[in-house]
Amino acid sequence: MLLLKRPGQRYAWLRLLFLALAALLTARYFVWRVTETLTYEGLASFIAALALFAAELYGGVIYGLGLFVNLLPLDRASPPLPADKTLWPSVDVFVPSYNEDPEILETTLIAAANMRYAPGKLKVYLLDDGGTEQKRNDPDSIKAAAAQQRHETLQALCNRIGVHYLTRAHNVNAKAGNINAALPHTRGDLIVIFDADHVPTVDFLERTVGAFIADPKLFLVQTPHFFINPDPVEHNLRIFGQIPSENEMFYAVIQRGLDFWEASFFCGSAAVLRRAALMEVGGVSGQSITEDAETALSLHARGWKSAYINRPMIAGLQPETYSGFITQRVRWAQGMLQILLLKNPLIQKGLHWWQRLAYFNSAFFWFFAFARVIFVLAPSAFLILGLHIYNANLPQFFAYALPHVLAAVIVSDFLFGRVRWAFVSELYELTQSIYTLSGLIRVLKSPRSPSFIVTPKGEQRSEDFLSELARPFYLLYSLTLLSLGFGVWRWFAEPLTRAQSRFQWKRFMSDGEHGAKGDGVDA
pLDDT in tens, 138-173: 999 999 999 999 999 999 999 999 999 999 999 999
The pTM score is 0.91
From the candidates 128, 259, 292, 519, which is the catalytic residue? 292
- The answer to whether position 123 is within a domain reads no
Task: Tell me if residue 307 falls in helix, strand or coil.
Answer: strand
pLDDT at 383: 87
pLDDT < 70: residue spans in the chain: 1-11, 452, 455-466, 496-523
Q: Is residue 453 part of a domain?
A: yes
Q: What is the pLDDT of residue 392?
A: 86
Residue 270, by phi and psi: left (phi above 0), alpha (psi -120 to 50) or beta?
left
Q: What is the pLDDT of residue 451?
A: 72
Q: Which of 129, 195, 231, 522 is catalytic?
A: 129
Contact 373, 433 (CB under 8 A): yes
Buried b (16+ CB within 10 A) or exposed e, 350-385: ebeebbbbbbbbbbbbbbbbbbbbbbbbbbbbbbbe
Q: How many domains does the chain have?
A: 1
| Residue 219 belongs to a domain | no
* Within a domain: 137: no
Please tell me the predicted confidence (pLDDT) of residue 299.
Answer: 98
Q: Give the count of alpha carbons within 13 A of 339, CB side only.
A: 30
pLDDT of residue 459: 58
pLDDT, residue 138, reads 95
Per the structure, the complete domain to which residue 395 belongs is given by 1-72+227-244+276-307+320-523
Number of neighbours of residue 492 by Cβ within 10 angstroms: 8
Element housing 271 (H / E) = strand 271-274
Using alpha carbons, list the distances in angstroms from residue 450 to 334, 441, 442, 454, 521: 7, 11, 8, 13, 18
Known catalytic membership, residue 413: no
- Which pLDDT belongs to residue 465? 59
Please indicate, yes or no, if residue 281 is contained in any of the structural domains.
yes
Catalytic residue status for 519: no
- C-alpha triplet 396, 398, 399: angle, nearest 5°: 60
For residue 197, tell me if it sits in a domain.
Answer: no
Query: Could you tell me if residue 464 is inside a domain?
Result: yes
Q: What is the pLDDT of residue 420?
A: 87
**Looking at the domain assignment, is residue 167 inside a domain?**
no
